[in-house]
Amino acid sequence: MHIDSRDPWWRHAVCYQVYVRSFADSDGDGVGDIRGITQRLPYLADLGVDAVWVTPFYPSPQRDHGYDVADYRDVDPLFGTLADVDALLSRAHELDVRVIVDVVPNHTSADHPWFQEALAATPGDPVRDRYVFRDGTGPDGQEPPNNWPSIFGGPAWSRVADGQWYLHLFDPGQPDLNWWNADVGDEFASVLAFWLDRGVDGFRIDVAHGLFKPADLPPREAHHRLPAPMWDQPEVHEVYRRWHKLLEQYDGDRMAVGEAWTASAESMARYIRPDELQQTFNFAWLEADWSADAFRAVVEDTLAAVGLVGASATWVLANHDVVREATRYGGGATGLARARAAALTMMALPGSAYLYQGQELGLEQVEVPAEARQDPSWFRTGEVGRDGCRVPLPWSGTSTPYGFGPGEGQPWLPMPEGWGDLTVEAQSGDPASTLSFFRELLRTRREVTPGLPDAVEVLDAEPDTLALRRGDLVCVVNCGSRPRRLPAEAGAIVLSSGAAPTHGELAPDTAAWFRLA
Ligand code: GLC
């Protein structure tokens, strides 16, 4: 969908995140794969998405489900082959769907040949300098070099046989690269070119706010949240300038979207200056409570920040790292109504929207039994972790594996009882289903939003409601607990996330679009 034919495709796109292990399993081994995605592309095209982002499918020991890459230029046999990726790209392009792949530049897998070479070398050898190796502190260097914690729990350092320590901000199986070493930057430029040459339309950059760590590795102080010394360092922006130039050498408005968890909308916007990344995920909405005031602040702060750098916004409610939004918003019928209303509100806004697989089905977070949990953070902290938003998609049927794969083969994470009503098959035939709502929403967005300005006005509205006007589109969301009168400006109803407004009032937990006469 293009507001202006000169706008690049990604500027207003709806991009659907495929978590490859859990989307569709073509061969019945219980793990989703590339062919499974290709087979289901018509479903995504029919849903009305402009692009898919596919999470890592590269060779990997799967310590962090693919975010631990052992070879950046190949496909793990678990997921298929390079030929399968080529087929996915060409089928997607036939259907006018763009494909974004994940790139993981902050760390490699411990199985990556560079890390194996580093382990085999002695302290001080230049091959160790591609990672962050240091001597320990305390007697005999038995204490880690500093106090940095791993995101997955415990210290961010592990000790190797010769007594040195290496940095891993995530799992010990994910050693952090040393971006001060020129080999690292050259290698990733070459990896990006490899995939661009194969025809990918863009990249999602994992931990884009990581990469550079201050060379003296200063301790983290207790009060630090972000930016702690390991995140959001100024040098990282040079990397994105280099990648910007690389992307520009290709046709078709190739792009990159950064996963940068930063402290403020302003620091997020630094990643999308005109010569850096095209987009960065805007996590503010995903972090906000169900509240009209909170949503209003997110909209205003985001648009102000992206305006400072002349970039466009993105809107995100869900991904494979966070509790599903229907659950965050209270679960059950209320949580689902709110999730639909939040999606409708987001989609009225200028910029691009990201959907996470299963969002269109209204899936809730699953309580994965302890013995089935797989998230590396569960093993390091004993906290539940992210498995509950990664349970495979239910496609059809009334019992597990709900058409996720052929036959009865059980999926890598157990699927709950009672998902029969939530399958794509069951929801497709029901005009009141969440899937039908999302289809209608994406279709309406394509029809109504091209030509609308990027400027958004916050209208006067009743308490607990937020009313936004963008050109002749008005969107109102009621986050309160009783019906609220619509603002005078609201025109004819276009689409509602729930009950249609009656007597000039909008029901609680509902959003609606209106068009000015
Ligand atoms: C990102 C990914 C997450 C992964 C981590 C380490 O935050 O989204 O799933 O565990 O990076 O690569």
Single-letter amino acid code for the residue at 507: A
pLDDT of 92: 98
pLDDT of 287: 95
Q: Whose CA is nearest to atom 2 of ligand 1?
A: 206
Q: Whose CA is nearest to atom 4 of ligand 1?
A: 67
> What DSSP state is assigned to residue 145?
S
The CATH classification number of 453-516 equals: 2.60.40.1180
**Tokens encoding 61:** 């020991």
Q: Do the Cβ atoms of 277 and 271 come closer than 8 Å?
A: yes
Q: Whose CA is nearest to atom 6 of ligand 1?
A: 67
- Mutation choice for ligand 1 from 20, 58, 65, 67, CB with most ligand atoms inside 8 A: 67
Tell me: pLDDT of 2 over 60: no
The atom number, within ligand 1, closest to the CA of 152 reads 10
Of the two residues 327 and 229, the one the predictor is more confident about is 327
Q: What is the DSSP string of 49-105?
A: -SEEEE---SS---TTTTSS-S-TTS--TTT--HHHHHHHHHHHHHTT-EEEEEE--
**Tokens encoding 188:** 């990733």
| Mean pLDDT, residues 1-16 taken together | 81
Q: Whose CA is nearest to atom 7 of ligand 1?
A: 207
pLDDT of 5: 66
Q: Which residues are catalytic?
A: 206, 259
Collapsed DSSP state (helix, strand, coil) of residue 132: coil
* Residues 382, 384, 385: CA angle, nearest 5 degrees: 105
| Mean pLDDT, residues 359-377 taken together | 97
Tell me: pLDDT of 1 over 70: no
User: How sure is the predictor about 3, in pLDDT bands with cuts at 50, 70 and 90?
Assistant: very low
Tell me: pLDDT of 4 over 70: no
In the reported structure, the alpha carbon of residue 158 is separated from the centroid of ligand 1 by a whole-number distance in angstroms of 19
Domain segments of the chain as ranges? 9-106+182-439, 113-167, 453-516
pLDDT of 450: 93
In the reported structure, the alpha carbon of residue 24 is separated from the centroid of ligand 1 by a whole-number distance in angstroms of 21
The atom number, within ligand 1, closest to the CA of 170 reads 6
pLDDT of 481: 96
Assigned CATH topology for domain 113-167: Oligo-1,6-glucosidase; domain 2 (3.90.400)
Of the two residues 137 and 488, the one the predictor is more confident about is 137
Q: Whose CA is nearest to atom 9 of ligand 1?
A: 321
196-238, pLDDT tens digit by residue?
Answer: 999 999 999 999 999 999 999 999 887 665 568 999 999 999 9
Percent of the chain with pLDDT over 70: 98
pLDDT of 6: 77
In the reported structure, the alpha carbon of residue 386 is separated from the centroid of ligand 1 by a whole-number distance in angstroms of 10
- Mutation choice for ligand 1 from 69, 107, 170, 204, CB with most ligand atoms inside 8 A: 170
- Tokens 């994965």 sit at which residue? 368
Of the two residues 265 and 199, the one the predictor is more confident about is 199
Pairing verdict, β 457-458 and 465-470: antiparallel
- Mutation choice for ligand 1 from 54, 151, 152, 206, CB with most ligand atoms inside 8 A: 206
pLDDT of 408: 83
In the reported structure, the alpha carbon of residue 281 is separated from the centroid of ligand 1 by a whole-number distance in angstroms of 13
**Tokens encoding 63:** 């310590």
- Mutation choice for ligand 1 from 55, 64, 108, CB with most ligand atoms inside 8 A: 64
Name residues whose C-beta falls within 8 Å of residue 83's C-beta, 6 or more positions apart in sequence. Answer: none
SS3 content of the chain, % helix, strand, coil (to 5): 30, 15, 50
The CATH classification number of 9-106+182-439 equals: 3.20.20.80
276-310, pLDDT tens digit by residue?
Answer: 999 999 999 999 999 999 999 999 999 999 999 99
The atom number, within ligand 1, closest to the CA of 104 reads 12
Q: Whose CA is nearest to atom 12 of ligand 1?
A: 67
In the reported structure, the alpha carbon of residue 292 is separated from the centroid of ligand 1 by a whole-number distance in angstroms of 30
61-83, pLDDT tens digit by residue?
Answer: 999 999 999 999 999 999 999 99
Ligand 1 pocket (Cβ < 6 Å) reads 64, 67, 104, 170, 206-207, 259, 320-321
In the reported structure, the alpha carbon of residue 68 is separated from the centroid of ligand 1 by a whole-number distance in angstroms of 9
pLDDT of 367: 97
In the reported structure, the alpha carbon of residue 102 is separated from the centroid of ligand 1 by a whole-number distance in angstroms of 10
The atom number, within ligand 1, closest to the CA of 171 reads 6
Give the bridge partners for 258, in sequence order.
Answer: 205, 280
